[in-house]
Amino acid sequence: MNPVDPAKARLKTCHLDQLSDHIDGLYLKPDLKFLFFELTLACNERCFHCGSNCSVPGKDELSADEFKRILDQVKEDFDISRIALNITGGEPLLRKDFFEIMNYAKEQGFWWGMTSNATLITKEVSHKLAEAGMRTISVSIDGLPETHDRLRGMKNAYDLAMKGVQNLIDEKAFEAIQITTVVNHENINELEQLFDVMKAIDIDSWRVINLEPIGRALTHPDMLCTKEDIRTMFEFIRKARNDGFPVEYDCSHFLGLDYEVEVRDWYWLCNAGVHTASIMSNGDIGACLDIERNAETVQGNIRQDRLKDVWEKRFELFRRNKASDCRKCSGCEHSKYCRGDAAHSWNYAKGEPLVCMKGILFD
């Protein structure tokens, strides 16, 4: 662990104190900025780390008409100029009515982006995405060709995805094209080579994140990052950013005074339930889609509940400092800032974090 410059530490602590007060305010008055639509659990890949265990369509998935009704409600109840609609799955493009839904979203004035494995993005599909008003996209690339194909359980997945990325670039119609790489104990050795790949294509950012102990990854504990892997990954991101390349970590964890603002643009904040809500493919309403799905974390269902009512009257589970009644967090000087860490990596049965960067990145 690196010593932190005292002056920089004082400045960061001041900022974190201000952010902590802001979060307390968000608990009382949340502000919806990101709405996720999980269009389907169907996927043409079988990624070993999938947090949602995607493979085939889920039971009783929402129809196109139901998604349209949700869009109508959201437009009526919220200022949609302040909300980003994020489309995900599974692989969203597997829905035969995908463009029917997204063209309707465009007609209603929604700003939207998507996550995809890009294997289905031909030149024609890229053009149709532009016509449907897609602004941003994040595409998953989890290693060099052999590694990516193996981790994603699909032959030629890497080549198809990279062709998809190039088709998106060639369309010249999108505000941001991002590639996301999930780092694990195996592919971390390919980071430098992947960096050369990323520098050679005209993407807007590269998001590098670590494998989390959720979903299918729990069946592959040997693939989870070691402490040394985590430190290596963050040093890689910091150096690449210092060299001017747009690589970033995501919103997963509080990283301590040394790494906060060094590996992403601003300080850590878990958006779940304060800025982010999600509609799952079966209509369930939740916060972040990576959160374990159970009777406690699911806040309602759009077939019976109006999103505005659920947003305003529920979500208490995500609008509190989880560390306040956690034995493992008791007495930790950082709990004011991490608040038990990310909602998606919290063990709701035991009431404790699954992941903590204390002891890895900071003392």
User: What is the average pLDDT value for the chain, to the nearest integer?
Assistant: 95
Q: How far apart are CA 97 and CA 42, in angstroms?
A: 13
Average pLDDT for 265-290 = 97
Written as one letter, the residue type at 246 is: P
pLDDT digits (tens, 9 = 90+) for 106-125: 999 999 999 999 999 999 99
**pLDDT tier at 52, thresholds 50, 70, 90:** low
pLDDT of amino acid 78 = 98
pLDDT of amino acid 59 = 83
**pLDDT tier at 46, thresholds 50, 70, 90:** confident
**pLDDT tier at 55, thresholds 50, 70, 90:** low
pLDDT of amino acid 50 = 76
Of 305, 308, 300, 359, residue with least CA distance to 329: 359
Average pLDDT for 5-15 = 94
Average pLDDT for 21-32 = 98
Written as one letter, the residue type at 344 is: H
Average pLDDT for 48-57 = 69
Average pLDDT for 306-316 = 98
pLDDT of amino acid 216 = 82
pLDDT of amino acid 217 = 84
**pLDDT tier at 51, thresholds 50, 70, 90:** low
Q: Calculate what percentage of the chain has a pLDDT beyond 90.
A: 91
Angle at the Cα of 212 from the Cα atoms of 46 and 227, rounded to 5 degrees = 130
pLDDT of amino acid 54 = 65
Average pLDDT for 77-91 = 97
Residue 174 has pLDDT above 80, yes or no: yes
Average pLDDT for 71-80 = 98
Query: Do the beta carbons of residue 353 and residue 329 sit within 8 Å?
Result: yes
Query: Do the beta carbons of residue 140 and residue 117 sit within 8 Å?
Result: yes
For the four alpha carbons of 265, 271, 276 and 277, in that order, the dihedral sign comes to positive
